[in-house]
């Protein structure tokens, strides 16, 4: 009974602390804290003002390396680089409790929702990009024994200045035994392979059907016990017209047919009617970049299930169609975020930097003469 009560208190404190709710923060201030607040940062150890770190091509910079039990509460990064593709070239990795493969592996821009390699400002609950190039994450990231966070420069150009502040807590007692580990996985389809390019209308697509998610774009696949908490996705169109009409489909614990099935791409990201041509950004959902519905159109979107994460006990496959019944051949870049037990399933091999750079491909179809 005491263990369950302790776990409940820990969960409530975690939700309260990371809900970005000013009233909850204020109401919890009189409560005693049972952790030591720490920070790992790039500050000038000499006491001067040279607070950044350069990262040479091929070099790995360690942002955090400490023992637990603990919890990363906030990550802040800003970057100065002459590399126009540095948001794609710098790769963020996170390892929990001495694991050999990372639980987080993604280009740093994509992790913060900047999947097209450009900066834009937006505010959500777990992720924000502030003025002018301030990248922030408030995802809670617990660890029992050890945390290691690194950034590797996979580009050919030196990163002149990489600034970081990692705020984390060290607890006096072990975290609850069933605490789940934070995961984030990058995926891309550049391009998606549409079922045909012989189409003119992106509505009905000649009555094509898709009931089992075959050939859907995959946000993530996981095995173990955990819950899915959201996704950021960017789209670079290779073809004209509305790129959406793709349903989200979630396959829980090995389902053949999805138990969660949506009604359209903009509907999953909680917009409507092609997003109405207007960018927007709210706490749990947004489309901070809304482009033109033509080849070359650029879009960035996010959806977080903080109100009701999607649980799984054995496995989860989270997907979305690329156009109705996967007929379109646009470029998708995404990062899925979830919590789960360890060990986690192997991640797909990270595409090369050349493959990660957004570009239009000759796929045929409307607006794209192959």
**CA 116 to chain CA mean position, Å:** 13
For residues 109 and 129, what is the distance between their CA atoms, to the nearest angstrom? 10
User: In this model, does residue 347 exceed pLDDT 90?
Assistant: yes
| pLDDT of amino acid 370 | 63
Percent of the chain with pLDDT over 90: 86
Sequence-distant (≥ 6) Cβ neighbours of residue 274 within 8 angstroms: 242, 244, 266, 293
| Mean pLDDT, rounded, of the chain | 92
Superfamily of the domain at 181-356: Protein of unknown function DUF2961 (2.60.120.1390)
Instruction: List the structure tokens of 350.
Output: 């990270």
Mean pLDDT, range 105-115, rounded to an integer: 98
For residues 71 and 176, what is the distance between their CA atoms, to the nearest angstrom? 12
Q: How confident is the model at residue 63 (pLDDT cuts 50, 70, 90)?
A: very high
Q: Is 155 exposed, middle or buried (0-12, 13-18, 19+ CB in 10 A)?
A: buried
Check residues 203 and 118 and name the one with the higher pLDDT: 118
Domain map (residue ranges) of the chain: 33-171, 181-356
Q: Taking the alpha carbons of 139, 22, 281, 307 in that order, is the dihedral positive or negative? A: positive
User: In this model, does residue 206 exceed pLDDT 70?
Assistant: no
Sequence-distant (≥ 6) Cβ neighbours of residue 230 within 8 angstroms: 126, 302, 303, 304, 305, 306, 336, 337
Per-residue pLDDT tens digits for 149-183: 999 999 999 999 999 999 999 999 999 988 999 99
Q: How confident is the model at residue 201 (pLDDT cuts 50, 70, 90)?
A: confident
For residues 179 and 301, what is the distance between their CA atoms, to the nearest angstrom? 29
| pLDDT of amino acid 197 | 86
User: In this model, does residue 198 exceed pLDDT 90?
Assistant: no
The phi, psi pair for 200, rounded to 5°, reads: -120, -30
Instruction: List the structure tokens of 72.
Output: 């990363």
For residues 24 and 310, what is the distance between their CA atoms, to the nearest angstrom? 24
For residues 55 and 158, what is the distance between their CA atoms, to the nearest angstrom? 6
Q: Look at residue 221 and give its three-state secondary structure.
A: strand
Q: How confident is the model at residue 41 (pLDDT cuts 50, 70, 90)?
A: very high
pTM of the predicted structure, to 2 decimals: 0.93
User: In this model, does residue 20 exceed pLDDT 60?
Assistant: no
CATH class of 33-171: mainly beta
Topology match between the domains 33-171 and 181-356 = yes
Mean pLDDT, range 182-192, rounded to an integer: 98
Q: How confident is the model at residue 204 (pLDDT cuts 50, 70, 90)?
A: low
Mean pLDDT, range 353-368, rounded to an integer: 96
| pLDDT of amino acid 199 | 79
User: In this model, does residue 89 exceed pLDDT 80?
Assistant: yes
């Amino acid at each position: 009974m005491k263990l369950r009560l302790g776990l409940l208190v820990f969960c409530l404190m975690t939700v309260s602390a990371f809900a970005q709710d000013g009233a909850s923060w204020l109401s919890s201030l009189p409560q005693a804290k049972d952790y030591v607040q720490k920070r790992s940062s790039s500050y000038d150890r000499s006491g001067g003002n040279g607070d950044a770190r350069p990262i040479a091509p091929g070099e790995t910079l360690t942002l955090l390396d400490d023992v637990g039990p603990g919890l990363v509460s906030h990550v802040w990064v800003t970057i100065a680089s002459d590399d126009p593709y540095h948001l794609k070239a710098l790769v963020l990795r996170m390892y929990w409790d001495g694991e050999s493969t990372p639980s987080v592996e993604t280009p740093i821009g994509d992790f913060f929702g900047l999947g097209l390699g450009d900066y834009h400002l937006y505010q959500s609950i777990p992720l924000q990009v502030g003025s002018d190039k301030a990248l922030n994450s408030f995802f809670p990231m617990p660890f029992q024994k050890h945390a290691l966070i690194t950034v590797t420069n996979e580009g050919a150009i030196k990163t002149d200045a990489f600034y970081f502040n990692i705020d984390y807590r060290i607890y006096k007692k072990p975290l609850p035994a069933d605490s789940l580990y934070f995961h984030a996985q990058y995926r891309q389809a550049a391009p998606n392979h549409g079922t045909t390019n012989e189409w003119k209308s992106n509505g009905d697509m000649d009555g094509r059907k898709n009931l089992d998610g075959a050939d859907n774009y995959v946000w993530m696949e996981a095995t173990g016990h955990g819950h899915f908490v959201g996704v950021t996705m960017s789209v670079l169109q290779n073809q004209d017209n509305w790129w959406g009409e793709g349903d989200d489909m979630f396959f829980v614990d090995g389902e053949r047919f999805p138990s969660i099935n949506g009604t359209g791409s903009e509907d999953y990201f909680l917009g409507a009617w092609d997003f109405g041509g207007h960018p927007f950004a709210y706490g749990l959902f947004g489309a901070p970049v809304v482009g033109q519905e033509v080849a070359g159109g650029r879009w960035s979107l996010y959806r977080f299930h903080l109100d009701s994460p999607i649980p799984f006990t054995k496995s989860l496959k989270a997907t979305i169609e690329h156009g109705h019944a996967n007929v379109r051949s646009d470029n998708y870049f995404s990062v899925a975020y979830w919590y789960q037990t360890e060990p986690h399933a192997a991640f797909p091999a990270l595409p090369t930097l050349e493959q990660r750079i957004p570009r239009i491909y000759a796929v045929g179809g409307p607006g794209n003469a192959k």
